[in-house]
Structure 1
Amino acid sequence: MNLLDELRTLGVDVDDGLKRIMGNEKLYTKLLGSFVKMARTNEVRIEDGCTDYTEAIEKAHALKGTAGNLSLTPIYEGYTEILNLLRGGQPAEAKVVLERILPVQQEILRCIESSVQ
């Protein structure tokens, strides 16, 4: 199974992502590789007892936007929910969502990393 087919099985809307860049698979694959690097350097942390979530909001916003542009649907939806909760003053609930989405994100990142060098 190729990268794009594997991503489809993980809930990524590959066809929409390709449509956004006029069907250019090579560019899409390159952008996926860039997303991996970005996700690895923008790890979202929601610490118990913290009162300032500015950094978590900024990183979640960046990941949400890039995931949305690439149609990485599970990641996009997860960070959308996290942002809404953090902005609504519900960090404990946001942390639960983060803990739920991180394994999905890691699986998608591993899939991309195994195919993009």
Structure 2
Amino acid sequence: MLNNKLLAYGIDYNDAMDRMGNNADLYKKLAMKYLDNECMADLLAAMEIQDFDAAYTAAHTLKGASGNLSFNELYEISASESEALREGEYQAAEEMLSDVKAAHDKVIAGLTKWADDEL
């Protein structure tokens, strides 16, 4: 049941349980730490000043964190963002930035509801 509710926010609980050896408490603890993750803010700030090396680092870190936590939509789009920045495709990276932010915001909304026992 929780999986279906979290899927609406791009969070694949069942996949995470496979990664975490079915340790629900560990997963929730790690997922909630994401609420304090600064990678999205770092990515936005770096893109604003066109510091593409810093943007790549932030996007790559966001990709890793979201992948490890089974935030699948965020993982997919941040992987594309990271790849575009790595390849020097800065216009493409700029164009998909709003999609990265939207996926990130969706995960944050889901985590917040989960933390507040609203799911």
Q: Would you say 1:13 and 2:12 are equivalent positions?
A: yes
**Offset, 1:99:** 0.8
1:47: which partner in 2?
48
In structure 2, stretches of 5+ residues that fail to align are none
**Offset, 1:56:** 0.8
CA distance in 1 between counterparts of 2:106 and 2:77 reads 14
Q: CA RMSD in A?
A: 1.8
* Count of matched residue pairs: 112
CA distance in 1 between counterparts of 2:17 and 2:94 reads 31
CA distance in 1 between counterparts of 2:78 and 2:7 reads 19
1:70: which partner in 2?
69
CA distance in 1 between counterparts of 2:8 and 2:82 reads 26
Cα separation, partners in 2 of 1:11 and 1:113, compared to 1, 3 Å? closer
**Offset, 1:104:** 2.2
**Offset, 1:11:** 3.5
Structure 1 moving runs of 4+ over 4 Å: none
TM-score (norm 1): 0.84
CA distance in 1 between counterparts of 2:85 and 2:72 reads 20
In structure 1, stretches of 5+ residues that fail to align are none
The answer as to whether partners of 2:17 and 2:24 remain within 8 angstroms in 1 is yes
CA distance in 1 between counterparts of 2:76 and 2:66 reads 9
CA distance in 1 between counterparts of 2:83 and 2:103 reads 19
Q: Residue 48 of structure 2: SS of its match in structure 1? A: coil
Identity %: 27
Q: Would you say 1:109 and 2:108 are equivalent positions?
A: yes
